Amino acid sequence: MRLSDIKLGHSNRDTDSISQSPVQVIAIAGGKGGTGKTNIAVNLAQALANEGKRTLILDADLGMANVDVLLGLTPENTLYDVMRGKCELEDILLTGGHNLMVIPAASGVGQLANMRWQECAGLVRAFSDLKEPVDTLIVDTATGVSESVAVFCQAANEILVVVCNEPASIRDCVSQLKHFYRDYGIARYRVLANMVDSASEANTLFQNLIENFTDDHNLQISYAGYIPTDEHVRKAVHSHQSVVNSFPRSPSAMALKKLASRTMEWPRPKRAGGHVEFFVERLIDNENMGMEVIS
Ligand SMILES: Nc1ncnc2c1ncn2[C@@H]1O[C@H](COP(=O)(O)OP(=O)(O)OP(=O)(O)O)[C@@H](O)[C@H]1O
Ligand SMILES: [Mg+2]
């Protein structure tokens, strides 16, 4: 089955095989390249997995994937093979360690990088067929304002926007959020300052950022904390491991673990939002069954 063949509103899932509780879906976004999105995605996922949460990372930087590289994984098949109809999503699922799974994308494949709305929506829908129980899905998105990034952000329950203290990073973040708000109606974001030296620098960065949104009254932008600049991140990247596991006492690892604890407090979705969403059946099932969802 090709991604574009997976129709909205239809699922061929095995209803007995999945847990009914809502999955927390966090998209990691950022307007500018190199702000640390993939490192945050991988380490947040690892920290959640270490806390006993069954965590899945979707490498949604579709054309320039590198989650697999950061975790030292060598995928046999990728989303490109799912897109070509060669295999199902389930078949490309990799284990990245205890409680940690990865859906890898390909690198340097233009067809994946340019996936349009319908194909991205098909991919989002395909997650409903996964038989592996998942507690949290972390979506590492590509840089910028492409349609695919918008679909993945809209399909997530939370969007964590990674910003650095550089004029270009702030400007690109403002452009991305305004574009997603005005063209896709995505109104709620949490901002994480990365590669800063102190809490006060991160706070100033956040204040400078939100000054750009005084005219966008319905936008809700909250502060999610900061990750310090830390040489251990680069060292961990070189050893193909998360910094959380390789240097657990380092400043960045401590901050990432704190971030993971905070995300565990974030409310889970209670009902379907009426657009393309990851694991939407669980929300609809919960509504239909009148289930109380613990957030
Ligand atoms: N807190 C940090 N301290 C030091 N270096 C960091 C930190 N966070 C990220 N980096 C470094 O910044 C670089 C870019 O990180 P990363 O690949 O995660 O960014 P990205 O936003 O995913 O980039 P792209 O837009 O290319 O996908 C890497 O070399 C990484 O090691
Ligand atoms: Mg990246």
Q: Which tens digit of pLDDT belongs to each residue from 127-175?
A: 999 999 999 999 999 998 899 999 999 999 999 999 999 999 999 999 9
- Pocket flag, ligand 1, residue 233 (CB < 6 Å): yes
- Pocket flag, ligand 1, residue 32 (CB < 6 Å): no
Indicate whether 14 belongs to any domain.
Answer: no
Q: How many Å lie between the centroid of ligand 1 and the Cα of residue 192?
A: 13
Which of 20-34, 43-57, 74-88 has the largest mean confidence? Answer: 43-57
Return the SS3 of 102.
strand
- Pocket flag, ligand 1, residue 195 (CB < 6 Å): yes
Q: Which atom of ligand 1 is nearest to the CA of 61?
A: 27
Among 160, 233, 239, 243, the mutation site with the greatest number of ligand 1 atoms within 8 A of its Cβ is 233
Mean pLDDT score, 253-260: 98
Q: How many Å lie between the centroid of ligand 1 and the Cα of residue 51?
A: 24
The Cα–Cα gap between 275 and 265 comes to 24
Indicate whether 3 belongs to any domain.
Answer: no
Other Cβ atoms closer than 10 A to 87? 14
**Main-chain dihedrals φ then ψ at residue 213, nearest 5 degrees:** -120, 20
Indicate whether 235 belongs to any domain.
Answer: yes
Residue range of the domain that includes 228: 24-283
Q: What would the DSSP string read from start to end of 235-258?
A: HHHHTTS-HHHHSTTSHHHHHHHH
Indicate whether 289 belongs to any domain.
Answer: no
- Pocket flag, ligand 1, residue 61 (CB < 6 Å): yes
Query: What residues pair up with 203 in beta bridges, in sequence order?
Result: none
| Chain centre to alpha carbon of residue 201 | 25
Q: How many Å lie between the centroid of ligand 1 and the Cα of residue 236?
A: 11
- Pocket flag, ligand 1, residue 37 (CB < 6 Å): yes
The domain spanning residue 87 has which CATH number?
Answer: 3.40.50.300
Indicate whether 15 belongs to any domain.
Answer: no
- Residue 291 — very low, low, confident or very high, per pLDDT cuts 50/70/90? very low
- Pocket flag, ligand 1, residue 227 (CB < 6 Å): yes
- Residue 108 — very low, low, confident or very high, per pLDDT cuts 50/70/90? confident
Indicate whether 144 belongs to any domain.
Answer: yes
Q: Which of 1-5, 142-146, 166-170, 255-259 has the lowest mean pLDDT?
A: 1-5
The closest alpha carbon to 159, from 127, 116, 191, belongs to 191
Indicate whether 270 belongs to any domain.
Answer: yes
Q: Which atom of ligand 1 is nearest to the CA of 64?
A: 27
Structure tokens of 208? 């400078």
Percent of the chain with pLDDT over 70: 89
Q: Which ligand is closest to the CA of 229, given by its number?
A: 1
Indicate whether 131 belongs to any domain.
Answer: yes
Q: Which atom of ligand 1 is nearest to the CA of 227?
A: 1
Angle at 198 (CA atoms; ends 193, 200), nearest 5 degrees: 85
Angle at 11 (CA atoms; ends 84, 95), nearest 5 degrees: 60
- Pocket flag, ligand 1, residue 237 (CB < 6 Å): yes
- Pocket flag, ligand 1, residue 36 (CB < 6 Å): yes
Domain count for the chain, please give it.
Answer: 1
